[in-house]
Amino acid sequence: MTHEILDDNMLNKLQRLAMIEISENERAKVKQNLSEVLGFVQNLASLDTAGVDLQSERKTPMRDDVVHESPVASDVLKHAPKSSENFFVVPKIIE
Q: Could you give phi then psi for residue 10, rounded to 5 degrees?
A: -70, -40
Q: Name the average pLDDT for the chain.
A: 87
Distance CA 9, CA 14 (A): 9
CA 76 to chain centre: 28
Residue 23 structural domain: 8-45
Query: Is 17 contained in some domain?
Result: yes
Residue 93 placed within a domain? no
Checking if the pLDDT of 2 tops 70, the result is no
Residue 63 domain flag: no
Give the pLDDT confidence score for residue 3 in this predicted structure: 63
Please state the pTM of the whole predicted model.
0.49
Phi, psi of 83 (to 5 degrees): -150, 160
Confidence at 1, pLDDT banded by 50, 70, 90: very low
Number of separate domains in the chain: 1
80 part of a folded domain: no
Would you say 39 and 5 are in contact if contact means Cβ atoms under 8 Å apart? Answer: yes
User: Has residue 53 been placed in a domain?
Assistant: no
The amino acid occupying position 57 is E
Residue 14 lies in a domain: yes
Query: Highest mean pLDDT range out of 17-21, 61-65, 74-78?
Result: 17-21
What 3-state DSSP class applies to 65? coil
